[in-house]
Structure 1
Amino acid sequence: MTFNHVPRLLKLAAPMILSSSAIMLMQIIDAIVLSRYSSEAVAAMGPSGLAVILFQGFMFGTAGYAGTFVAHCHGRGDTQGGRRSAWLGIYAALAAGGTALVLAWPIALLFLLAGHEPGVARNEMTYFGICMAGSLFPVMGGALAGWLSGIGRPAVVTGVAFISLTVNALLAWGLVLGEWGLPRMGISGAAVATVAAQMVAMILYAATFARAGGFSDAVARRLDWVEFRHFLSLAMPMGLRISGELAAWTLFLVVVGRLGTVQLAASSIAFRINGMAFFPALGLGQAAGILVGHARGAGNDDEIPAIASQSLVVCEIWMLAMATLFATAPVPLMSVFAGYGPESIRIVETGSLIMKFVAFYCIFDAANVMIGCVLASAGDTRWLARTFLVSSSIFLALLWLVDMIIPSLMAEWALATMFVFATAVIWLFRFRRGRWRTIRVLRRTEMAA
């Protein structure tokens, strides 16, 4: 196998890794700071943080799919088409952000029904409500970051991500612990810090788009309802697939939380640590998706199998390295997040066992992430959404049975590992069948424009 696509992949990947990791990195920063505040706050970060990404995942996936349209336009040399595609994402973000603001508090009240301890439930409601209300900022930022990546300017995304992460880290330390004369707000301070950092990122992205003439281009700004409906027909399944995956893992944590606060805290921390492997892999997948979009836009479909296979090799090397780290050093990794409370030793011991499962499923998650991104960029989003809905429903039904019959942390994590393996195999079979070749992302009228 030649690796002619790998240099371009790696050039795009570093900025995409940082961009895709931004939300999770902010939550990792919040979790580290909160470990100095209370174990209840650390436990609450798992379900509430995943729930935030769940709802924002649908919005982010829908608005951010504009980047796929931009990449296809860029591949065929259509600059104005790229700006028009970015506006499709902007309009989707405006609608999603307004809806999230209205629904934030009513949805937050559902945490009272999860069966968690009262203090944990209150913290979950607070974190989710604040972050959900500020959803416009990361979703709009995602649409504009997709435009930058699609036109081959991911370095700007890197700079913005660094700035927003710095803002989040400083504000989280000050607002959670009451440092530098700021109020001691606990988990609500962590949420405010995250939203403020996302707002800064959105403003910087918008300024870049304005300098490129994106806001002043009246033709690109005009909303074509036929084009917008076509965009949503591909973008919303992508958003549903992302939110569906996050829903499955959020419900998984909710079920684990019924076993106790220690089990919930350990599982929550394990997901945070897994983010060290998953989000860089997702950035690699998004970079591969850009290459796929450029190739399809230029009419070079025959290049896509090579792009996919070479990208998968790179991603698998990364995941194997992280799996080795997780399997050999679980105690020091867990200790970073476990804090200094009376239950910290039990959390580390429980989490060390969980990290064995995380290490094992990382090996399969490379194909899960990479092939999923390639199929999505090729336009196969409807099939991805339908298939994941079926597979995740089966997973959750089995999880419910395990919880009802033989509630066990090890059994539940073993089932989760099997779920990751099954989805990876399904995606690979779909890609090899080549049905994605028959799907067109850009409408024929757009291609002729």
Structure 2
Amino acid sequence: MEGNLTKGPILKTLTKLAVPIMASAFLGTLYNITDMAWIGLLGSRAVAGVGVGGMFTWLSQGLAAMARMGGQVQVAQCIGRGDRERAHGFAQAAVQLSAFMGIAYAVLALLFTRQMVGFFQLADTETYAAAMSYTRIACGLIVFSFLTLTLTGIYTAQGDSKTPFLANLVGLVTNMILDPVLILGPGIFPRLGVTGAAIATVTAQAIVMSIMILGIIVQKKENVLKETKLFAKLPREYVSGICKIGIPTAIQGMAYCAISMVLTRMVSGYGAEAIATQRVGGQIESVSWNTADGFGAALNAFIAQNYGAGKNDRVRKGYKASLWTVGIWGVLISVIFICFPEPIAQIFFHEPKAIATAMGYLVIIGFSEAFMCVELTTVGALSGLGRTRLCSIISIAFTSARIPLAILLGGIMGLNGIWWALSSTSIVKGIIFTSTFLWITRKRK
């Protein structure tokens, strides 16, 4: 069967699936870094405004994770059991839920944009205007992002990671062309600034979604998304199955973002440079974040199929091989952040104060990169077993600890104390998640 992950050499099978996903993750990183590099030319206030608007697109990704994770795990487990009919049912339901939630989120974001941006109490008028503009466009057309994430999950569940990669590659090229044209307005083009950045991002997302839909139509091999009917009735059993797996993941993602919003509000007290640093620092950090998350998505499909097929030995071996891979990558990123913070900061910032703030962030956060990579990969592995509720409990409990820790350390060390709150909790989560997965699989042995 095409896309069967229950047979063949474990590392080769995992690598074949993971490489295109990791490449897609790198494209996502370049996506974000390209935006920030061009917006950085407009100044730290524009970057801070986009950072605030980006919080709400991030919040939406948590909600989108419900259909994506629930659909991906259920489809992969059905394929592992050889039940293609139920796999199609779960895939169609996931796409329908994703479209509905994307439209609902867009409507709410457009109705309450002022209140959403107002939460951050932005004193600078330029930063506030940038945040309002970016949020309206990026969230108003967020349905493209919702569907792209869910389609990627369904493709991955079938063992096809190449189609999403090619779609994302075209999207990246589009974004890289549109960014300088729409943000800076060379020649005859109007200078749209932050608005241009939002338009470029949304356009690229729409193109990525369209290519993946085209892939379903033209693929000769059987695809569980074939003959998907967007307006068909949603059977309760499929919705229930997706929600059972997906809701804990959605709660986890949205809680993580909500906690980050509270921390951003604390950071805003240190000025626009601090907000900009948090936003850009997060994008730089996505070099490790997106890579580990991509490998975690591959491992999720691998483990879900093998778990569905009852091959627990392959589950354990696949996890250990993945752990070594992402762990080494995380250590490499840690070394780069700690040893070379200034050259990295100078790519995005041009004011001395902003560069100094960014350097402090990179050094402190650098100590946790390897642990964060391990955490994200293990979350993918546990979710493949269907243990999304456990992932949610652990993640929310320790991520929530960042708020009191930031208050405590911030009072002692200032802004760096907030950065240490982020870094230290990532280290703890990485250790706990790994220990939990090893304990669960050892118990099942």
TM-score (norm 1): 0.89
Point out the more displaced range, 96-105 or 178-187: 178-187
| Contact residue 371 and residue 426 of structure 2 kept, 8 A | yes
Distance in 2 separating the partners of 1:5 and 1:130: 43
1:298 equivalent to 2:309? Answer yes
* Partner SS for 1:131: helix
* Partner SS for 1:183: coil
Change (3 A) 1:402 1:353: closer
Note the alpha carbon deviations across 1:271-311, whole angstroms, 9 max, x for none: 12111111111111111111101211211123222211111
Give the one of 421, 425, 435 matched to 1:415: 421
1:337 equivalent to 2:364? Answer no
| Contact residue 92 and residue 228 of structure 2 kept, 8 A | no
Match of 2:34 in 1: 29
TM-score (norm 2): 0.90
Distance in 1 separating the partners of 2:328 and 2:376: 13
Give the one of 182, 185, 190 matched to 2:192: 185
Note the alpha carbon deviations across 1:360-382, whole angstroms, 9 max, x for none: 01121122111111111111111
Match of 1:202 in 2: 209
Change (3 A) 1:310 1:111: same
Distance in 2 separating the partners of 1:44 and 1:321: 31
1:288 equivalent to 2:299? Answer yes
1:348 equivalent to 2:359? Answer no
| Contact residue 81 and residue 309 of structure 2 kept, 8 A | yes
| Contact residue 69 and residue 153 of structure 2 kept, 8 A | yes
- Report 1:128-143 matches (<5 A): 128-143=135-150
Supply the RMSD in Å over aligned alpha carbons: 2.4
| Contact residue 380 and residue 436 of structure 1 kept, 8 A | no
- Report 1:91-170 matches (<5 A): 91-109=96-114, 110-116=116-122, 117-170=124-177
Name structure 2 gaps, 5 residues minimum. Answer: 1-7
Match of 2:3 in 1: none
Per-residue deviation, 1:437: 8.1
Distance in 2 separating the partners of 1:63 and 1:262: 35
Distance in 2 separating the partners of 1:253 and 1:192: 24
- Report 1:71-90 matches (<5 A): 71-90=76-95
Distance in 2 separating the partners of 1:374 and 1:8: 15
Give the one of 44, 55, 58 matched to 1:39: 44
| Contact residue 74 and residue 241 of structure 2 kept, 8 A | no
1:379 equivalent to 2:390? Answer no
Q: Percent identity?
A: 22
Distance in 1 separating the partners of 2:413 and 2:268: 11
Distance in 2 separating the partners of 1:253 and 1:4: 45
Distance in 2 separating the partners of 1:387 and 1:100: 27
| Contact residue 361 and residue 416 of structure 2 kept, 8 A | yes
Per-residue deviation, 1:24: 4.6
Distance in 2 separating the partners of 1:431 and 1:336: 39
Note the alpha carbon deviations across 1:161-187, whole angstroms, 9 max, x for none: 100111111111111111353321111
Match of 1:441 in 2: none
> Counterpart of 2:293 in structure 1: which amino acid?
L
Distance in 2 separating the partners of 1:366 and 1:230: 28
Q: What is the number of residues matched between the two proteins?
A: 431
Distance in 2 separating the partners of 1:295 and 1:220: 32
- Report 1:245-394 matches (<5 A): 245-338=256-349, 340=350, 344-394=351-401
Match of 1:5 in 2: 10
Per-residue deviation, 1:407: 6.7
Change (3 A) 1:312 1:435: closer
Distance in 1 separating the partners of 2:161 and 2:91: 15
| Contact residue 96 and residue 230 of structure 2 kept, 8 A | no
* Partner SS for 2:421: helix
Distance in 2 separating the partners of 1:86 and 1:145: 11
| Contact residue 329 and residue 370 of structure 2 kept, 8 A | no
Name structure 1 gaps, 5 residues minimum. Answer: 439-449
Distance in 2 separating the partners of 1:216 and 1:201: 20
